[in-house]
């Protein structure tokens, strides 16, 4: 299956800006979706594939900074490039601290915008690949038996087979068998590889209540 084409979303209430950016991005080869308000953007169905958001700070309904906060948790694979006709330092600092990759002032330098978009799309593609990798790891880990998960946890903690056997009350031969199945099911080529997988899974686990 061919990967979905990257999409550049543009939210700006100035129709002349939307049209000029739409033309620029079309000539640059990008698939583009333009919106006049944050509400229109939020109502648009999610689309697969890498993407980025070119977002004006001042909008008639929800301002750009508030929209950034709204989508911060569920659209982590969509980097934001802010544009503004009257940006100031506090505004820029707030946007960048919240994860924006660029803050450009109008009139926008076309080449700077295109460079920012290329970087944003690359970042988005990497985030999507990471999400797929994490989902695959969760599925593989979920396929382990309870005992195999216990053995995996002890292996990545640095214990030897004999120590694991003593901890779980099973023979060293049995530990080796469980360990082999863990490596196979997780697709790990080495213990360091398994340790990295465990670190990813731990990072994705919800914090204890």
| Phi, psi at 197, each rounded to 5° | -65, -45
Q: Identify the pLDDT of residue 3.
A: 63
Q: Identify the pLDDT of residue 55.
A: 97
Q: Which burial class, exposed, middle or buried, applies to 116 when counting CB atoms under 10 A from its CB (0-12, 13-18, 19+)?
A: buried
Give residues with Cβ within 8 angstroms of 28, minimum separation 6: 114, 117
Q: Would you say 157 and 87 are in contact if contact means Cβ atoms under 8 Å apart?
A: no
As a whole number of angstroms, the distance between CA 25 and CA 30 comes to 5
Prior bond of 165 cis (ω within 30°): no
Query: What domains are defined for the chain?
Result: 7-130 (3.40.50.2300), 143-204 (1.10.10.10)
- pLDDT tens digit at each of 209 positions of the chain: 446 789 999 999 999 999 999 999 999 999 999 999 999 999 999 998 999 999 999 999 999 999 999 999 889 999 999 999 877 788 899 999 999 999 999 999 999 999 999 999 999 999 999 999 999 999 999 999 999 999 999 999 999 999 999 999 999 999 999 999 999 999 999 999 999 999 999 886 654 44
Q: Is the pTM of this model over 0.75?
A: yes
Nearest to 84 by CA among 65, 113, 56: 56
Q: Identify the pLDDT of residue 90.
A: 87
Q: Which burial class, exposed, middle or buried, applies to 143 when counting CB atoms under 10 A from its CB (0-12, 13-18, 19+)?
A: exposed
Give the three-class secondary structure for 1.
Answer: coil
Spell out a b/e string for 160-172, using b for 16 or more CB atoms within 10 Å of the CB, else e. Answer: ebeebbeeeebee
Q: Would you say 152 and 181 are in contact if contact means Cβ atoms under 8 Å apart?
A: no
Q: Identify the pLDDT of residue 156.
A: 95
């Amino acid at each position: 299956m061919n990967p979905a084409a990257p999409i550049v979303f543009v939210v700006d209430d100035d129709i002349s800006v939307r049209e000029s950016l739409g033309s620029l991005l079309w000539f640059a080869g990008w698939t583009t979706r333009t919106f006049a308000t944050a509400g229109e953007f939020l109502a648009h169905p999610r689309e697969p594939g890498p993407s980025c958001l070119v977002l004006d700070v001042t909008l008639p309904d929800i301002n750009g900074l508030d929209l950034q906060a709204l989508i911060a948790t569920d659209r982590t694979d969509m980097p934001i490039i802010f544009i503004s006709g009257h940006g100031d330092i506090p505004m820029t600092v707030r946007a960048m601290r919240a994860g924006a990759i660029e803050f450009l002032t109008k009139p926008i330098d076309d080449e700077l915008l295109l460079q920012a978009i290329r970087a944003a799309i690359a970042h988005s593609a990497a985030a999507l690949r990471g999400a797929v990798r994490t989902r695959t790891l969760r599925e593989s880990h979920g396929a382990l038996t309870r005992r195999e998960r216990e053995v995996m946890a002890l292996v990545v903690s640095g214990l030897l087979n004999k120590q694991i056997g003593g901890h779980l009350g099973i023979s060293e031969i049995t530990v080796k068998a469980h360990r082999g199945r863990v490596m196979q099911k997780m697709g790990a080529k080495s213990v360091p590889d398994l340790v990295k997988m465990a670190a990813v899974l731990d990072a994705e686990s919800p914090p204890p209540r």
